[in-house]
Amino acid sequence: MAAGPPPPLDPGSLPTFTDEGFTEKFLRKTRENPLVPLGCLCTVGILTYGVICFKKGNTQRSQLMMRARVLAQGLTIASLVGGMLATTFKSR
């Protein structure tokens, strides 16, 4: 039993995509999941402070900041995954 050609596509039912620059995409993604950029900024801030403490010779504070950096990175990854799951469930 041979199948015939597929039915023609209705152009109105196809999704439309707009050209989106880097800034527009960054702002849209930030609005969708604001915890990820906040976590990245927090991670960079902690890392910077840890390096400054290391340069000044305060090794105890530097080690504490490196542990805090790992925690901040973990929270950033968790918020990224949580945002992806929320977007997935919202689209269904």
How confident is the prediction for the chain on average, in pLDDT? 88
d(CA 52, CA 58): 9
- pLDDT band with cut points at 50, 70 and 90 for residue 10: confident
Over range 29-41, report the average pLDDT. 90
d(CA 46, CA 70): 10
- pLDDT band with cut points at 50, 70 and 90 for residue 1: low
pLDDT of residue 2: 64
d(CA 28, CA 67): 31
- pLDDT band with cut points at 50, 70 and 90 for residue 86: confident
Over range 71-77, report the average pLDDT. 96
Nearest residue to 47 (alpha-carbon basis) of 68, 78, 24, 74 = 68
